[in-house]
Amino acid sequence: MKTIRFIAAAAVLCAAVACNSGKPAGTTAGADSTGVAAPVAEATTNLKDLLPTKGEIDSVSYLLGTQLGGLIKGYNFAKSMKELNFSQIKQGIVDYVNAKGNQRDPDFGDQFKINPEDVNTLFPAFIEKRRAYTAAENQEKESKFLAANKAKEGVQETASGLQYIIEEAGNDVKPGERDTVFVHYKLSLADGTMIEEVKPEDESVMLQLNRVIPGWTEGMQLFGEGGKGKLFVPSNLGYGENGQGAIEPNATLVFDIQLDSVKRFVPKEQE
């Protein structure tokens, strides 16, 4: 929206300049049209002064780089920059800028080493191959992590494979699978990478237990109101083979949780 407003404002400014440029300097509404116009001063502007400065060129060049960086980061290529050949990225940019003809021409893509239209097949195939590899790799890591974690003091495991530690049991009020809970929590990956956190000084987050990942639906019912502990959520009880955002496919999730309060589910006919 900012870009649209900027373009609109620029258009208005250009229109104003264009309208004003047709009036001789000093002319006012109602002036005698038979008067002799003042001589127009010769243009003394050096054309080179109209060109963008080196600083402006550098700024725009940098911004174009950040746009490409956003694409790279968005597809998580930044995790391992070895996945990309930056010399080929540069070559692709140069080849496209120097390409001849109209981009809409049917044979426009024939002048490239790889037709740009092939992005619709090659790119998704590449992304899927990366996802499958990451999923398999994380599955192996998860098996080792959960096996080692299960042997640690205080760790318990349910029939579903969910592992947990009760640090403070809380009171006798435990949520049901349709209840709403108010919690503080920190989400990390098995390697300790923190994904998100509701800090102690922040307000509790409200979550309905039938609208969260299965690991939470099951795990929160183990805590009493006011209780604290950890959940070690296997990927099949989390975001599974697809992952979500910074959470990779088949990633094990570790939650540090404080259950602040419970709000019971009330069927509509009882309201």
Lowest-pLDDT range of 6-10, 43-47, 134-138, 151-155: 6-10
Length of the chain: 271
φ, ψ of residue 133 in degrees (nearest 5): -65, -45
Within a domain: 109 = no
Within a domain: 190 = yes
Lowest-pLDDT range of 29-33, 95-99, 212-216: 29-33
| Residues forming beta bridges with residue 183, ordered by sequence position | 205, 259
Within a domain: 185 = yes
Residue 139: which of 41, 238, 18 has the closest Cα? 238
Mean pLDDT, residues 209-229: 96
Percent of the chain surpassing pLDDT 70: 81
Within a domain: 115 = no
| Residue 196 clears pLDDT 60, i.e. is over it | yes
* Per-residue pLDDT band at 84 (split at 50, 70, 90): confident
Q: Per the structure block, which two tokens stand in for 38?
A: 């003042």
Tokens 């060049």 -> residue: 61
pLDDT at 45: 76
CA distance linking residue 37 with residue 41, whole number of Å: 12
| Residue 79 clears pLDDT 80, i.e. is over it | no
| Residues forming beta bridges with residue 254, ordered by sequence position | 188, 232
Compute and round to an integer the Cα radius of gyration of the chain: 31
CA distance linking residue 71 with residue 96, whole number of Å: 18
Percent of the chain surpassing pLDDT 90: 69
pLDDT at 42: 56
| Residue 19 clears pLDDT 80, i.e. is over it | no
Tokens 């435990």 -> residue: 174
* pLDDT tens sequence across 133-176: 999 999 999 999 999 999 999 999 999 999 999 999 999 999 99
Q: Per the structure block, which two tokens stand in for 9?
A: 């404002």
| Residue 262 clears pLDDT 60, i.e. is over it | yes
Within a domain: 103 = no
pLDDT at 1: 42
pLDDT at 37: 56
| Residue 25 clears pLDDT 70, i.e. is over it | no
Within a domain: 239 = yes
Tokens 């083979």 -> residue: 241
Residue 238: which of 246, 247, 229, 230 has the closest Cα? 247
| Residue 58 clears pLDDT 80, i.e. is over it | yes
| Residue 20 clears pLDDT 50, i.e. is over it | no
Distance from CA of residue 17 to its chain's centroid? 41
CATH of the domain at 228: 3.10.50.40
pLDDT at 96: 95
Within a domain: 55 = no
* Per-residue pLDDT band at 76 (split at 50, 70, 90): confident
Total domains, the chain = 1
pLDDT at 6: 33
CA distance linking residue 20 with residue 33, whole number of Å: 17
Within a domain: 244 = yes
Residue 174's domain comprises 144-270
